[in-house]
Amino acid sequence: MIKKIKILLFIACSLQLEAPLLAQDLHFSQFFNSPLSTNPANTGFIPDADFRLGANYRNQWSSVMSVPYKTISIFGDAQFFRDRLENGWLGLGGVLLNDQAGSGSLTSTKIYGSLAYHQMLGLSSLLSAGFNIGWANKHIDQNKLKFPDQFDGKFFDNKLPTAVVFSNNYVSYMDVHAGMNYAYFPDENVYVNAGYSIQHVNRPKETFFNDNTTNGRIPMRHTGFVNAILKLNDRVIVNPNAYFSTQAKATELVLGINANYNLSQFGEKQLLAGVYYRLADAIVPMVGFQLKNIQFAFSYDVTLSGLSKYNGYRGASEFSIIKKGFYPENADRQSICPSF
């Protein structure tokens, strides 16, 4: 109980000190399985298919919070005009994000539409640029919040008066992201991809307080990643990844690798396994399975930071599912990345 009170006190203090922002951006450890929220240039950037549909679910801090943080993402994108544009195509897609953060019922709902253009550069490289425009809404239940000045030394009492006053419980705004990607695939066994994106390009205002300063503006978030798909033999394909993101004074660096092991003649069944490390925060093992064109993956954040003494190393569980496919007329189109 004391451990949970300390965690709640820490979060409550954070709410008071950083009131205009209230929460971080939505986040997935399996960033590579959430392509549209990682970089809008990924829209239609599907080297081994024409379209894809996917969903992500993340449950965080269930070991220390009575109401854990839950994040859900549903997305879809597809390639268009490959037969009309010379050595290029358009990508169209959309993503729906929902996040419920803790006992204060801070709920975020975001809907984005994405557009990207992809241009082949010769026979072995591809350059992409894209953007998305979305609508975001956040609301909070003030009656469920507790603040430091309501702590009597043993318990939080929300019947006590507080100096924290909300001007409203809802906020909505338009949000814009932009990004670029480059892919290099010299042969059928090697594929390398790098990308850079900026979120909150328009710096929308997000605050539940009567704030006329710039503190209510969301800082732009810069994200870069590099990954490769390398076919070692007819049984093993490895996928090393590096991801870096920075927003305001916060940074995140993730390094890791996962591999696909072929269990059938033509790759209809594959076993997935990997491990990732988020610098100074967590190690993230991952397992999964691919059956034909549907991939399932499960990962778990094992906390390594100072929070581990409170949550017993139990950070977050995450699940993703992605389905890919080809248009009927493109059923025999060759993948531009290594495949079984």
Q: Which helix (H) or strand (E) holds 120?
A: strand 106-120
The per-residue pLDDT for range 3-50, each reduced to its tens digit, is: 444 444 444 443 333 334 344 677 899 999 999 999 999 999 999 999
Structure tokens at 53: 């549909």
Question: Distances from the Cα of 81 to the Cαs of 159, 184, 192, 269, 296, in angstroms?
Answer: 61, 22, 24, 31, 29
Concatenate the DSSP letters of all residues of 245-258 into one string.
Answer: EEETTEEEEEEEEE
Residue 167 has pLDDT above 90, yes or no: no
Between residues 286 and 147, the one the model is more confident about: 286
Sign of the four-CA dihedral 165, 167, 173, 178: negative
- How many beta carbons lie within 10 A of that of residue 291, not counting itself? 12
pLDDT at 100: 87
Task: Quote the CA–CA distance of 155 and 286 in Å, as a whole number.
Answer: 39
Looking only at Cα atoms, what is the longest distance across the chain? Answer: 70
Residue 281 has pLDDT above 70, yes or no: yes
Question: Of 6-20, 185-199, 276-290, which range is least confident?
Answer: 6-20
Residue 185 in contact with residue 334, Cβ under 8 Å? no
Nearest C-alpha neighbor of 322 from the set 82, 30, 99: 30
Statement: the pTM of the whole predicted model exceeds 0.75:
yes
Residue 113 in contact with residue 97, Cβ under 8 Å? no
The per-residue pLDDT for range 133-143, each reduced to its tens digit, is: 999 999 887 77
Number of residues assigned to the chain: 340
pLDDT at 18: 37
Between residues 337 and 42, the one the model is more confident about: 42
Sign of the four-CA dihedral 254, 257, 263, 264: positive
pLDDT at 59: 93
Nearest C-alpha neighbor of 194 from the set 27, 320, 41: 41
pLDDT at 10: 42
| 163 CB-side CA count, 13 A | 9
pLDDT at 156: 72
Nearest C-alpha neighbor of 67 from the set 121, 11, 14, 25: 11
**CATH hierarchy code of domain 2-330:** 2.40.160.60
Q: Please state the rounded mean pLDDT for residues 64-92.
A: 88
- How many beta carbons lie within 10 A of that of residue 173, not counting itself? 16
pLDDT at 83: 78
Residue 297 in contact with residue 32, Cβ under 8 Å? no
Concatenate the DSSP letters of all residues of 113-162 into one string.
Answer: EEEEEEEE-TTSEEEEEEEEEEEEEEE--GGG---GGGB-SS-B-TTS--
Domain residue spans in the chain? 2-330
User: Across the chain, what does the average pLDDT equal?
Assistant: 86
Q: Please state the rounded mean pLDDT for residues 160-180.
A: 85
Helix ranges restricted to H, the chain: 2-17, 35-38, 308-311
Task: Quote the CA–CA distance of 91 and 77 in Å, as a whole number.
Answer: 7
Instruction: Name the CA radius of gyration of the chain, rounded.
Output: 22
pLDDT at 20: 40
Residue 160 has pLDDT above 50, yes or no: yes
pLDDT at 335: 80
Task: Quote the CA–CA distance of 43 and 121 in Å, as a whole number.
Answer: 18
